[in-house]
Amino acid sequence: MSPDPRRRVPRTDALLADPRLVAAAGRLGRDLVKAAVQGVQQRVRDGRLDPDDAADAVLAALPTTAGSLRPVLNATGVLVHTNLGRAPLSPAAVEAVVAASGTTDVELDLVTGRRGPRGEAALAALVDAVPAAEAALVVNNCAAALALVATALGGELVIARGELVEIGDGFRIPELLEATGARLREVGTTNRVALEDYRRVLGPGTGAVLKVHPSNFVVRGFTRAVPVAELAAGLAGSGVPLVADVGSGLLRPHPVLPDEPDLQTTLADGADLVLASGDKLLGGPQAGLVLGRADLVQRLRRHPLYRAFRVDKTTLAALEATLRGPQPPVQRMLAADVDGLRRRAAALAARLTVAGLDAVAVDSQARVGGGGAPEHPLPSAAVSLPAQFAVPLRAGTPPVVGYLAADRTLLDLRSLPPAHDEALAAAVLEVARRWT
Ligand SMILES: *Cc1c(COP(=O)(O)O)cnc(C)c1O
């Protein structure tokens, strides 16, 4: 036998016959296992791996699932982090998704055997949660809800200049609205608008008056906006619907976020339709929620574009379970009291200190993020580690995303469910272990 390990690169079929890799191929598909085999063969060829360890190395290189998205521990202090997939689903919602993901009765009445209304139970849960709504509709996201409203209500959309918002990643609400062919009629100035500004431009061509919540910035100083109640009263009798995009999807006023609009109050104040995202403060799946007057909801549902925006069975399942089930994680994070967060930080820091690490518990500031409650800090607590932890923690398994402040890595605990504290400690210890 050649002493040169490069000559002894194990054959693909020999490796694939390893019972552990046969089982992996059944679970992940043959292509993924084969790709891992090829990577390992290259390492043997390069002399970086002993051929006898090849099968073990393939096993170690295999992904956990056939998809490449990985669970991440969110220690950023941003509760609804768009880059981390916004709201984590509640365990109840995850179970509902799993149950619905096979063949399911999403559009079939099992009693009569006839076609049934799609997603009826999720819509009922929405209306139950927001009693001021006569009816509800669910689309792919809030942007889709805006596009559907702009298209189906048509004509000219009246909107205040101060509400021409860019949400993030270059996504601008006015550009989205114009892309549907709707015309925008801007009223007021950047900082001020009055009821009269709206009333003056109403005409036979007006499709709707649109109010958009400035969810990621605040304007201070000499400012004036027209509240929904005043606008609704001012539009009464004009026949022009008032549509309010509240963004974050709070169902009711929240004591922690006094300035954040909610669906129930906005409708009770007189909006005809209210729009929101499902995966922000509601804590559910990505979805666009439309609630309000039954005739308007029906008009949207009947529009041909609705078919392009409707959601799948797993979204409907997750949304219903979010509304009917136990409090989802985002709601718990919002309600978490700071003393509890401090206790978690102290316990984690103590544990890491015993292991010889430079870890301390510190007070920190979390925030809602994801287009909600801008400039509203939430008191929080964090584990503070040396700065050089940030990068390897992010590259670990599971990846931990914190943030850097004053030359320290901070791991904020408000954005992390308490059940993940154990995994967080293990990830930090693993990084430290690899250094020593
Ligand atoms: C976040 C947000 C949107 C976009 O919502 P998506 O669900 O991401 O499409 C629209 N309007 C407002 C006010 C928002 O805050």
Ramachandran angles phi, psi of 270, nearest 5°:
120, 0
pLDDT for the residue numbered 97: 98
pLDDT for the residue numbered 214: 87
Reply yes or no on whether the pLDDT at 372 is more than 90. Answer: no
Which residues, at least 6 apart from 397, have a Cβ–Cβ distance to it below 8 Å? 70, 427
Share of the chain above pLDDT 90, in %: 91
pLDDT digits (tens, 9 = 90+) for 49-73: 999 999 999 999 998 899 989 999 9
Reply yes or no on whether the pLDDT at 95 is more than 80. Answer: yes
Ramachandran angles phi, psi of 11, nearest 5°:
-75, 150
pLDDT for the residue numbered 371: 65
pLDDT for the residue numbered 5: 65
H helices, E strands: number in the chain: 18, 15
Which residues, at least 6 apart from 380, have a Cβ–Cβ distance to it below 8 Å? 77, 338, 341, 363, 364, 365, 366, 412, 413, 414
- Closest atom, ligand 1, to C-alpha of 213: 13
Q: Name the closest-CA residue to atom 12, ligand 1.
A: 247
pLDDT for the residue numbered 332: 97
* CA dihedral sign, ordered 432, 433, 434, 436: positive
- Closest atom, ligand 1, to C-alpha of 165: 13
pLDDT digits (tens, 9 = 90+) for 29-49: 999 999 999 999 999 999 999
| Backbone angle region of 244, left / alpha / beta, with phi > 0 → left and psi within -120 to 50 → alpha | beta
pLDDT digits (tens, 9 = 90+) for 270-318: 999 999 999 999 999 999 999 999 999 999 999 999 999 999 999 999 9
pLDDT digits (tens, 9 = 90+) for 115-156: 999 999 999 999 999 999 999 999 999 999 999 999 999 889
Domain 73-83+332-435 architecture: Alpha-Beta Complex (3.90)
Which residues, at least 6 apart from 157, have a Cβ–Cβ distance to it below 8 Å? 150, 177, 182, 183, 184, 185, 207, 208, 209, 210
Q: Is 156 helix (H, G, I), strand (E, B) or coil?
A: strand
What's the 177 CA to ligand 1 centre distance in angstroms?
13
Can you tell me the distance from the alpha carbon of 379 to that of 366, in angstroms, rounded to the nearest whole number?
A: 6
Which residues, at least 6 apart from 369, have a Cβ–Cβ distance to it below 8 Å? 76, 78, 79, 80, 81, 82
Provide the mean pLDDT of the chain.
95
pLDDT for the residue numbered 3: 63
Mean pLDDT of 67-80: 96
Q: Please choose, from the candidates 223, 221, 275, 228, the residue with its C-alpha nearest in 3D space to the C-alpha of residue 250.
A: 275
Cα 366 to Cα 113, 336, 379, 382, 427, distances in angstroms: 50, 11, 6, 10, 21
pLDDT for the residue numbered 216: 85
Reply yes or no on whether the pLDDT at 1 is more than 80. Answer: no
What's the 75 CA to ligand 1 centre distance in angstroms?
23
- Closest atom, ligand 1, to C-alpha of 246: 13
pLDDT for the residue numbered 215: 84
Residues in contact with ligand 1 (CB, 6 Å cut-off) = 141-143, 167, 212-213, 215, 245, 247-248, 277, 288, 371
Can you tell me the distance from the alpha carbon of 352 to that of 386, in angstroms, rounded to the nearest whole number?
A: 12
pLDDT for the residue numbered 2: 53
Domain 89-326 has CATH 3.40.50.10300: no
Query: Which residue type occupies 299?
Result: R
Mean pLDDT of 89-102: 97
**Tokens, residue 176:** 């989205």
H helices present in 62-158, as ranges: 91-100, 120-129, 142-153
pLDDT for the residue numbered 269: 98
Helix axes 313-324, 91-100, angle to 10 degrees: 150
What's the 290 CA to ligand 1 centre distance in angstroms?
12
Domain boundaries, the chain: 5-61, 73-83+332-435, 89-326
pTM summary value? 0.93
pLDDT for the residue numbered 352: 98
Q: DSSP letter string over 23-59?
A: HHHHHH-HHHHHHHHHHHHHHHHTTSS-GGGHHHHHH
Share of the chain above pLDDT 70, in %: 99
Reply yes or no on whether the pLDDT at 4 is more than 80. Answer: no
pLDDT band at 217 (very low <50, low <70, confident <90, very high): confident
Can you tell me the distance from the alpha carbon of 101 to that of 283, in angstroms, rounded to the nearest whole number?
A: 20
Mean pLDDT of 318-345: 97
